[in-house]
Chains A and B, each alone.
Chain A
Amino acid sequence: MTVQTSSDPSDHRFTMPRLSFRLIFGLGTLGILAILGLFGSVFLQDPNALAPANRLQFFSSDHWLGTDGLGRDLLARVVAGARISLAVGLLVAAFATVFGVILGLLAGYFRRLDPIIMRVNDGMLAIPELLLAVALASLAQASLTMVVFALTVPQIPRIVRVARAEVLVLRKSPFVEAAYISGSSRFKILTRHVLPNLVAPLSVQVTYVCAYAILGEAGLSFIGAGLPANTPSWGVIVSENRTFFMQAPWTVFVAGFFLTVTVLAVSAVGDELRKSAE
């Protein structure tokens, strides 16, 4: 992960990323997944309909991506999983950003709060993120809320670090001082001059948080610390089918493939954003 800290805040404009192959791949993949996730249930089969007679079938015209050990349609399950993965990715990115930016602003702008916030922050950064997520996830019963919470918390300090570094540069920047001496209140300076200029440098970090969260949800669900069994999450799908791996490897590979492509797509968008920020 790269921390972007530009020393010249006047560079923080929105330069549109160039339309490269990676960007088209990233945005295209995510767009298709989002459409599938939102509207897939209209034309696909019920992802939870059991049909033990049809278990572990290979790809066919009835079941495009085959069936799992309980005869459920894998395409329907994987598409339902896309919905979960994207939701987790977006929610974690959103919550981590909101809390991270608030704390980063406080630490960077109100220097008295800085040592307190940054001490806690550094402490949290010292714990491996997945370990912290597993620990948090096991605090309560498995649920989507719990997973989002467990994945968000370890990401907050990462956002705080980037946001604070940017705020420290911005608060000393001539245009912020100019705004102050024309009589702007602190609130106005923070909301109008500092906050908008955080968007560009943070957007890269936020996409990485999103990719991490999608991977993290799958990981938590795979080891049973995430979403409840039978939920059509990619991690759960891989986990519940791993016993059939020798007989029907596609049951595992299908979900794994979707997971890989999605994470690659999100990182591709992040990389392109980073390039355009440079």
Chain B
Amino acid sequence: MPQAAPSATDPALRVDDLSLVINDARKPISAVNDISFSVDPGETLALVGESGCGKSLTALALMGLLPDAIRVSTGSITLHGSDITTLSERELQKRRGDNISMIFQDPMTTLNPLVTIGNQITETLRIHRKIDRGTARERAKALLERVGVSDAERRLDQFPHELSGGMRQRVMIASAMICDPDVIVADEPTTALDVTVQAQVLALLQELQREAGMALILVTHDFGVVAQTADKVAVMYAGRIVEQGPADAIFAAPKHPYTEALLECSAPPPPIDGRARDRSALPQIDGTVMPLTQQFPGCRFAPRCAFATERCRTEVPRTRGNRHTVACHHPRQDLDTGVGS
């Protein structure tokens, strides 16, 4: 697996100690705690975790699109040399689509039913660049061909309902890429698609991103997706990044019991006596994620963790390690050398 080449340039996006807080009627609830990560140009970071752990909120924060009730309480998000948490909506709006763009989960509803494919793709381009209709159309056509949409010339004049889900997601990818953004945030981009097209769309996304040297932040709950695409992995649990590092290191030697359990769950089950196992026999992590509203002094995974001790229930583990970090009192593997614990 390729590693992030050490380059003289800054990362495409850097998040430092970001915390997000939900303004509840009674008291603020922290939804995301002190997360840090960075992605270099041409690199893919996978943000993995069970549903409800704050992945989508993090993705929205990167776009400066947090819902009204949620705000950034600490930390910074550095994109293109500025901290976007401090930018005005007006300045953000200039960057969205141009420096950073987003691909959503459901391509069936993210295209305007009354606007042709061609116009949806060129819209972003025509907002951010001075470019005439004809040139924009040529760009859209070339990009459609590039994302593997056949008969691009004719597709440009079609409406979304004339396209299949996989085709629509290809169109979404094309429109996210048309301004050559530094960063693309993709929140579960293949979850709504047929299993057969998921892999194709992922492969395409990654290929294009590599080609154009964009950074990709891929939000997913599926380790299968991670294995296929990621250079770096950040595993989230209940609003914290519990483990982070190069994908190959995480797959080879997961340190956090949660990561280990997730990997076990996602590994294809070996067939017993040649027959496929029924679903109930699939491994799963017992218990559920502790609700955000619940106060808990220790590691929030402790109640579900086979290795938890008294310390886990009373003290939040610090994040330790160098390139491959983990926030656990009892990591499953040795920490990187040179970092004391």
Contacts and interface: CB of A to CB of B under 8 A. Distances in A.
B333 interface: no
B222 to A, nearest CB: 21
B111 A175 contact: yes
Given A13-B114, A13-B159, A196-B114, A183 B98 contact: yes
B94 A174 contact: no
A26 interface: no
DSSP majority for the A interface?
A: helix
Contact of B104 (A178, A180, A185): A178
Contacts of B111: 175, 178
Interface in B67-120: 93-98, 101-102, 104, 106, 108-115
A201 interface: no
A179 B115 CA distance: 12
B63 A9 contact: no
Contacts of A8: 109
Contacts of A193: 112, 115
Given A182-B127, A183-B124, A197 B113 contact: yes
A173 B115 CA distance: 15
| Residue from A178, A179, A192 with most neighbouring chain B CB atoms (10 Å) | A178
B161 interface: yes
Given A13-B159, A192-B115, A193-B115, A181 B102 contact: yes
A12 interface: yes
Given A182-B124, A183-B96, A10 B102 contact: no
Given A13-B159, A184-B123, A197 B112 contact: yes
B311 interface: no
A10 B109 contact: yes
B120 to A, nearest CB: 8
Interface in B128-176: 128, 159-161, 172, 175-176
Contact of B112 (A179, A181, A183, A185): A179
B65 interface: yes
A183 B176 CA distance: 11
Interface residues of B, number: 30
Nearest to B111: A175
A175 B110 contact: yes
Contacts of B175: 182
Q: How large is the interface on A (under 10, 10 to 19, 20 to 34, 35 or more residues)?
A: 20 to 34
A184 B63 CA distance: 14
Contacts, number: 75
A145 B255 CA distance: 79
A183 B113 contact: no
Contacts of B65: 177, 181
B181 to A, nearest CB: 10
Contact of B93 (A11, A174, A183, A197): A183
Contacts of A175: 109-113
Interface in A1-32: 8-13
Interface string A44-69: 00000000000000000000000000
Contacts of A176: 112
Contacts of B159: 13
Contacts of B104: 174, 178
Nearest to B175: A182
Contacts of B101: 181-182
Nearest to A175: B112
B243 to A, nearest CB: 30
A183 B214 CA distance: 19
A177 B104 CA distance: 10
A8 B108 CA distance: 11
A173 B108 CA distance: 11
Contacts of B108: 10
A181 B186 CA distance: 13
Interface of B: 63, 65, 93-98, 101-102, 104, 106, 108-115, 123-124, 127-128, 159-161, 172, 175-176
23 contacts: A10-B109, A10-B160, A10-B161, A174-B104, A174-B106, A174-B109, A174-B110, A175-B110, A175-B112, A181-B63, A181-B97, A181-B101, A182-B123, A182-B175, A183-B96, A183-B128, A184-B123, A184-B127, A185-B93, A185-B127, A196-B112, A196-B115, A197-B112
Q: State the 5 A-B residue pairs at the shortest beta-carbon distance, nearest first.
A: A182-B97, A183-B97, A182-B124, A174-B109, A174-B110
Given A8-B109, A13-B113, A175-B112, 9 more contacts: A181-B63, A181-B102, A182-B176, A183-B98, A185-B93, A185-B127, A192-B115, A193-B112, A197-B112
